[in-house]
Amino acid sequence: MSTMNMKRILAAGVAAVTMFSLAACGSTAADPNKGHVYFLNGKPEVVDQLQQLAQDYTNQTGVQVDIQIASSGSYESTLTSELAKSEAPTMFIIAGYDEFAKYQRYLEPLQDTDVYKLLNDEGKTNSHKVGDDAYTMPYAAEWYGIIYNKKIVNEYAKKDYAVIQSDADIKDYDTLKKVVEDMNKHKDDLGI
């Protein structure tokens, strides 16, 4: 199994534990007296899995779990709107420290919860904190990168006009920008 698949499985598992460890326990059908979990999801790529998990949890415990997904590009505006309602989301996703700072007033410390104690040291390190209080449960991580044609870049690096000597010289945005601009200037020579 690849590292990426393992990370996805781990992320889904932590999400499941997080979501349902924070909810109440109960019987086999939705019972309004047992509580309600409203999760605002900003990750459309996992909505089917979350819906199934919610249904399974409701069937097992009697706690109604509703998953709402914000449409693409509208998560933050949907979150702001939903948090202003009397029936605000029980759980929601934040992406990074900027959003944590913005929505912290809606969060409660989690470090004393059973689910937080299940996190390993790395998970606890990645929880957003203020002092000793941990307010978030990390469950997904995303990385961004640039895919490039190594053959073309290596051919470019051999040219007299090149601003780099190898692809390893691209270590910051300024260098990347110079390379892209220079390659664009010489695209006919490079065959691109």
Same domain? 49 vs 74 = yes
Number of domains forming the structure of the chain: 2
- Whether 144 maps to a domain, the answer reads no
Predicted local confidence at residue 9, as pLDDT: 41
Same domain? 89 vs 120 = yes
- Whether 118 maps to a domain, the answer reads yes
Q: What is the CATH number of the domain that holds 80?
A: 3.40.190
Same domain? 89 vs 114 = yes
- Whether 141 maps to a domain, the answer reads no
Length of the chain: 192
- Whether 143 maps to a domain, the answer reads no
Same domain? 103 vs 155 = no
- Whether 7 maps to a domain, the answer reads yes
Same domain? 160 vs 128 = no
Same domain? 107 vs 155 = no
Predicted local confidence at residue 146, as pLDDT: 87
Same domain? 80 vs 171 = no
Tens of pLDDT along the chain (192 residues) come to 444 444 444 444 445 444 444 444 334 467 878 899 999 998 888 889 999 999 999 999 999 999 999 887 899 999 999 999 999 999 999 988 899 999 999 999 999 999 999 999 999 999 999 999 999 999 877 777 889 999 999 999 999 999 999 999 999 999 999 999 999 999 999 999
Same domain? 37 vs 88 = yes
Helical H segments across the chain, by residue range: 3-21, 47-61, 75-83, 97-103, 114-117, 121-125, 150-157, 173-185, 187-190
The two tokens of residue 113 are: 């919860």
Same domain? 165 vs 80 = no
- Whether 179 maps to a domain, the answer reads yes
Which of 134, 163, 181 is the last residue before a domain boundary?
Answer: 134
The two tokens of residue 177 are: 């920008």
Could you tell me the residue range of the domain that residue 19 belongs to? 3-134
- Whether 53 maps to a domain, the answer reads yes
Residue with tokens 């690849």: 2
Q: What is the pTM of this model?
A: 0.60
30 contact partners, CB below 8 Å, separation of at least 6: 58, 62, 63, 64
Same domain? 111 vs 81 = yes
Same domain? 160 vs 130 = no
Same domain? 173 vs 106 = no
- Whether 33 maps to a domain, the answer reads yes
